[in-house]
Amino acid sequence: MNHVPDERHQVFLKSRTPARTAWVHESRPVTRPMSNWSSDSIAVRAVASVRVVVAVAIGLIGSFLPNLGAREDAFFLIVGFVWIPFATVVLFASVRPNRRVALIGGPVGDILVLLGAQCLLPGASRVVLILYVVVVAFGVYTAGKHFATLLGAVAIACTALSQGLIPRSARLGAAELLFFSLALLAILLLLARSATLQDRVNARAERLQTKSDTILTHVASAVFVTDAESKILECNPAAERIVELPANAVVGNFCGDVVGLHLGERALDCSGGCAILKEFSESEAILGCELWRTRADGKRQPLLADATTVASASGQLEVVHSLRDVTRLKEAEEAKTMFLATASHELKTPLTVITGFAETLIRFDDIDRDTRLAALDAIRSRTRELTQIVDRLLMSSRIGAGAIQVTCTEMDVVPIISDRFATFAAGTHRAVTFMPPTEPVLAFANRDALITVIDHLIDNAAKYSASDQTISIEVASRDGRAHIVVVDQGIGMDEEQAAHCFKQFWQAESNDARRFGGTGIGLYIVHSLVEAMGGQIEVRSRKGHGSAFTVTLRRVDVDDAPAPSAGEESSIREFMRQIGVPERSRA
Amino acid sequence: MSLAMWVATLNIVLGVVYTSYGLMTIVDLKRDWRFRGISHFGLAWIAMAFTCGPHHLDHGLQFATVGGNAGPLDLLAVVIGLPAGVTWFLLRVEALRGGRGDRFISGTPWWLKALVWLSVLYAAVLVASVATVLRHPVHFTPRLTPNVLLLGLYFLIGYYLLRTQLTNRTTLGGWSVSGVALTFVFPTCGVMHAMYMVYASTERYAIEWHCLLIDWLAVPAAIYFVWVVRNLSLGVSTDWNEGATGARLQVAVG
């Protein structure tokens, strides 16, 4: 059995012109109903549509014809009550490719209606012979020569049968029947051969096209194909993502206008042909060179670019550009450097203290008991600090590796927050306010994860505010969700800092002037754990006026999106919503 | 007011309402086609509205101007379709004026449950009445074909709508008034054609050529509509069911 791709698993690839699109199949195969069928979905659909129109037209004509006899009445009733509904079913079936009802059922239904016409409308016998030929010819095209041969035989048999059922005066002559049979046979042979050759060519072309399109669609690199004048002819979805524009806004425009590559601080000039090919040696152009472009938000997007020339089908020179976004690689590199710098600093400080006190205790035997206890307490305190840092690093690493699994249950968050509040207040003697609500605040959460989240947020608030400034915690249940807010009056953040504060290893002060220490992973851990519990965290902050972190947790373990109480403004979209047409996003 | 005048009035009101659906959809298409492209769904809906509406107008005007022996089953069918049709129309008008365009009914209140039993009772009464009428000699001609086809097609559209409402009830825990109204519109339209067919086959109603032509035009319109819905449901093609953001992005850059 051959396998053909299923249309349900298609991915979209923008084609050479803005108006044209090509549907590319994913590699998931489905079993084809019959091995030797050749079909063209568009042709099958077109014929199914034409069949419905013809059937309705015949039905309409029949209902307007005056003084019909019983035979004519019967024929038009067959058309109205059998053929039109059947043709409609075939039309609906033809929406999917290779459906038996469309490929076989359609022509079989046609043959039966033609038999009905031969028997009930004897005057139309000669027209019906021509229509038999049309139906059989279409059968060769859609369902293959074997089925069409069978169809042809049935057509001849039907014609012979009908001759026995109609008045002698209306019967066809032997010569007419012989000519019809021979014509049918000739058409069968001719079309079968033509269809076989066409199938072979199509199958090969489709295989190659599917393969190359699938590669282009799934490859992570952006691929632009330009002509010799640097006009973009084709691009893949990754290219759309890189330039943040849909394909129809990319294709047809000049590479320099759409992509805008820079080398160092200089914009590359693509007007006289591909700048990458001009600027770099052949090996560099193929292996990749580091360039950048400006993103829509004004930031630099580092890219690894290469280019090579190919000849198009028409022999024209085309250039295939491949661009790989290396922003994340660069960020990871920077984060790693930052992490090494901050971690070594954070680990070194307590280690220095521990080493100092340990050496003092070893070197001097005559230290009094109070001093020894103070030294040991300092060692213990710094060891705890070290353990905390290592724990955070380990958790951060586990989150990064996707190894954190959080099992949530519905619980009252108030006792947990009260406990963490009391522990913090007793340990630091800082001004902390928390008014526990009288009613339980239920949330879908994990106890350990919630404790970590609250502890980190309180620590964070304490770290970035002066010791005489108040930290407050609020808990409330609103809109069916639990809201936990930790507010400080500390240094606060500006808009950009607030936007980045949940990133791993990010710190508001990343230079040598850092005043607050820390590894820059506390809020990253908080963000990850809240998301793992299906909640959300957001921050409101003003530089110099403090910050407020709000954790929102769901009440139950379902997607509790509010029920839609408003319809669509557009009548078309409202009807679509009500009839169950699924909303689709642009590929 | 005589039965014929009731049938005429209600049919004219329904005809105006259904034709207005088509006009509203044209306004919709005209407003958004530059952003979203042409909508086959919209075109098919317009085609249906402009065949269903004129059918009722023609039927109503026929009774209003010429008069005739109006059937009580005809009135029964129109009476049921009217509240649903008007409700959807008013919700759409509200949406066009910037309002909500829908109401959500949480859970299944008693009156909605009662509506289901009333529908069953209505269907039983209808079937019994039809059986009584069909005891008279029946003359079945090809002229009745479009009514039979429309009965099937409108019930199929009603089935799609009902299926979505039942799914929504499970996932959202309630009902959309807009959806429920629309779900009632199509089967009642089918019932109206069935009643028309019953009276025409017993020769109580004469089939006028203009009404017959409208009904024949309604057949491909309804087939086209179901075909579009099927294509969209299977994801074979996309229409205005693409996300609004994506659709507008195209305009913003192009």
The verdict on A569 touching B (C-beta cutoff 8 Å) is yes
Longest dimension (CA), chain B: 67
Distance from C-alpha of B112 to C-alpha of B116, rounded to nearest angstrom: 7
**Tokens 């079968």 found at:** A192
Distance from C-alpha of A537 to C-alpha of A183, rounded to nearest angstrom: 77
Give the orientation angle of helix B177-201 with respect to helix B145-172, to 10 degrees.
160
Supply A475's token pair.
């808990």
At A101-151, the pLDDT tens digits run 888 889 999 999 999 998 898 888 888 899 998 898 888 877 777 888 888
The residue range of the domain holding A244 is 219-325
Specify whether A335 is located in the same domain as A296: no
Beta bridge partners of A23: A12
Q: Which residues of A touch B42 (CB under 8 A)?
A: 572
Contacts 24+ apart (CB under 8 A), A214-219: A214/A11, A214/A24, A214/A25, A214/A26, A214/A27, A216/A13, A217/A11, A217/A12, A217/A13, A217/A24, A218/A11
What value does the mean pLDDT take over residues B212-229? 94
Distance from C-alpha of A4 to C-alpha of A17, rounded to nearest angstrom: 26
**Tokens 């290592």 found at:** A390
Q: Each residue of B98-109: b (16+ CB within 10 Å) or e?
A: eebbbbbbeeee
Looking at residue B55, its pLDDT comes to 93
Out of A325, A355, A376, pick the residue that ends a domain. Answer: A325
Specify whether A247 is located in the same domain as A335: no
Q: Which of B155, B238, B245, B251 to mutate to test the interface with A (most CBs of A within 10 A)?
A: B238
Residue A371 lies in a domain: yes
Distance from C-alpha of A440 to C-alpha of A554, rounded to nearest angstrom: 14
Supply A9's token pair.
């698993």
Contact A246 B249 (CB under 8 A): yes
Residue A587 neighbours by CB under 8 Å, 6+ apart: A11, A12, A237
Contact B45 A572 (CB under 8 A): yes
The verdict on A248 touching B (C-beta cutoff 8 Å) is yes
The average confidence (pLDDT) of chain A is: 80
At A287-305, the pLDDT tens digits run 778 888 988 888 888 998 8
CATH number for the domain including A233?
A: 3.30.450.20
> How many structural domains is chain B composed of?
1
A560 or A537: which carries more pLDDT confidence? A537
At A146-188, the pLDDT tens digits run 888 888 899 888 888 888 888 888 788 888 888 888 988 888 8
At A409-422, the pLDDT tens digits run 888 889 888 888 88
Specify whether A194 is located in the same domain as A228: no
Residue A567 lies in a domain: no
**Residue A156 · residue A188 · CB < 8 Å:** no
pLDDT band at B104 (very low <50, low <70, confident <90, very high): confident
**Tokens 């590319």 found at:** A24
**Residue B242 · residue A586 · CB < 8 Å:** yes
What percentage of chain A reaches a pLDDT higher than 70?
A: 86
Looking at residue B253, its pLDDT comes to 27
Looking at residue B254, its pLDDT comes to 24
Specify whether A365 is located in the same domain as A432: no
Q: CA angle B107-B108-B109, nearest 5°?
A: 110
Specify whether A34 is located in the same domain as A90: yes
Specify whether A313 is located in the same domain as A350: no
The verdict on A319 touching B (C-beta cutoff 8 Å) is no
Q: Which residues of B touch A567 (CB under 8 A)?
A: 91, 95, 100-102, 176, 178
Burial class of residue A401 (count of CB atoms within 10 Å of its CB; 0-12, 13-18, 19+) = exposed
Looking at residue A470, its pLDDT comes to 84
Handedness of CA A559, A560, A561, A565 (dihedral sign): positive
Nearest to A25 by CA among A209, A250, A264, A227: A209
Q: Which residues of B touch A64 (CB under 8 A)?
A: 209, 212
> How many structural domains is chain A composed of?
4
**Residue A411 · residue A445 · CB < 8 Å:** yes
Looking at residue A510, its pLDDT comes to 54
Looking at residue A369, its pLDDT comes to 84
Tell whether the model's pLDDT for residue B67 goes beyond 80.
no
Looking at residue A298, its pLDDT comes to 84
The verdict on A563 touching B (C-beta cutoff 8 Å) is yes
| 3-state helix/strand/coil string of A186-206 | HHHHHHHHHHHHHHHHHHHHH
- Which region, left, alpha or beta, applies to residue B203 given φ > 0 means left and ψ of -120 to 50 means alpha? left
- Tell me, what DSSP letter sits at residue A561? P
Q: Which residues of A touch B50 (CB under 8 A)?
A: none
At A57-74, the pLDDT tens digits run 999 999 898 888 888 889
At B110-155, the pLDDT tens digits run 988 898 899 899 889 888 888 888 787 888 888 999 999 999 999 9
At A77-108, the pLDDT tens digits run 999 999 999 999 999 998 888 788 888 889 99
Q: Give the global pTM.
A: 0.59
Residue A399 lies in a domain: no
Distance between B9 CA and the closest CA of chain A, angstroms: 26
Residue B157 lies in a domain: yes
Distance between B216 CA and the closest CA of chain A, angstroms: 6
What value does the mean pLDDT take over residues A254-261? 86
Residue B206 lies in a domain: yes
Nearest to A109 by CA among A160, A158, A149: A158
What value does the mean pLDDT take over residues B198-216? 88
Chain A, residues 5-34, CB within 8 A of chain B, namely 7-8
Beta bridge partners of A30: A4
DSSP string, A317-376: EEEEEEEEE-HHHHHHHHHHHHHHHHHHHHHHHHHHHHHHHHHHHHH-S---HHHHHHHH
Q: Each residue of A116-151: b (16+ CB within 10 Å) or e?
A: bbbbbbbeebeebbebbbebbbbbbbbbbbebbbeb
Looking at residue A439, its pLDDT comes to 82
- What are the distances in angstroms from CA B182 to CA A283, B12, B119, B187, B226? 66, 19, 15, 9, 15
Residue B252 lies in a domain: no
Residue A270 lies in a domain: yes
Looking at residue A99, its pLDDT comes to 83
Identity of the residue in A68, A567, A582 whose CB atom sits nearest the CB atom of B241: A582
Nearest to B144 by CA among B62, B202, B61: B202
Nearest to A249 by CA among A18, A19, A20, A21: A18
What value does the mean pLDDT take over residues A564-580? 84
Contact A564 B102 (CB under 8 A): yes
Specify whether A107 is located in the same domain as A231: no
Specify whether A269 is located in the same domain as A313: yes
Nearest to A449 by CA among A488, A411, A500, A501: A411
At B87-101, the pLDDT tens digits run 999 999 998 888 888
Q: Which residues of B touch A92 (CB under 8 A)?
A: 226-227, 230
Contact A584 B241 (CB under 8 A): yes
At A436-484, the pLDDT tens digits run 888 888 888 888 888 888 888 888 888 888 878 888 888 988 777 889 9
Tell whether the model's pLDDT for residue A587 goes beyond 50.
no
Q: Which of B149, B166, B201 to mutate to test the interface with A (most CBs of A within 10 A)?
A: B149
Give the alpha-carbon dihedral of A343, A347, A348, A353, to 10 degrees: 160
At A11-46, the pLDDT tens digits run 333 333 333 333 233 333 322 333 344 457 788 888
The verdict on A96 touching B (C-beta cutoff 8 Å) is yes
- Tell me, what DSSP letter sits at residue B142? G
pLDDT band at B1 (very low <50, low <70, confident <90, very high): low
Identity of the residue in B101, B172, B236 whose CB atom sits nearest the CB atom of A95: B236
Of the listed ranges A524-528, A537-541, B118-122, the least confidently predicted one is A524-528
Chain A, residues 168-187, CB within 8 A of chain B, namely none
Out of A185, A216, A247, pick the residue that ends a domain. Answer: A216
Residue A583 lies in a domain: no
- Which region, left, alpha or beta, applies to residue B101 given φ > 0 means left and ψ of -120 to 50 means alpha? left
Contact A582 B250 (CB under 8 A): no
Specify whether A186 is located in the same domain as A153: yes
**Tokens 């249309």 found at:** A7
Query: Hey, what amino acid is at B7?
Result: V
The verdict on A576 touching B (C-beta cutoff 8 Å) is yes
Handedness of CA B109, B110, B114, B116 (dihedral sign): positive
At A371-402, the pLDDT tens digits run 888 888 888 888 887 887 787 777 777 776 66
Beta bridge partners of A304: A290, A324
Distance between B34 CA and the closest CA of chain A, angstroms: 14
Neighbouring C-beta atoms of residue B171, cutoff 10 Å: 11
Residue B247 lies in a domain: no
Neighbouring C-beta atoms of residue B29, cutoff 10 Å: 21
Specify whether A345 is located in the same domain as A455: no
Specify whether A277 is located in the same domain as A419: no
The residue range of the domain holding B227 is 3-242
Residue A253 lies in a domain: yes
**Tokens 């039109």 found at:** A84
* H helix intervals, A2-83: 41-64, 70-78
CATH number for the domain including A422?
A: 3.30.565.10
Residue A146 lies in a domain: yes
Looking at residue A19, its pLDDT comes to 32
Tell whether the model's pLDDT for residue A553 goes beyond 60.
yes
pLDDT band at B227 (very low <50, low <70, confident <90, very high): very high
Residue B139 lies in a domain: yes
- Tell me, what DSSP letter sits at residue A231? B
The average confidence (pLDDT) of chain B is: 86
Residue B254 lies in a domain: no
Out of A365, A391, A417, pick the residue that ends a domain. Answer: A391
Looking at residue A38, its pLDDT comes to 45
Residue A564 lies in a domain: no
Distance from C-alpha of A334 to C-alpha of A338, rounded to nearest angstrom: 6
In 3-state terms, what secondary structure has residue A156?
helix
Tell whether the model's pLDDT for residue A3 goes beyond 80.
no
Looking at residue A393, its pLDDT comes to 75
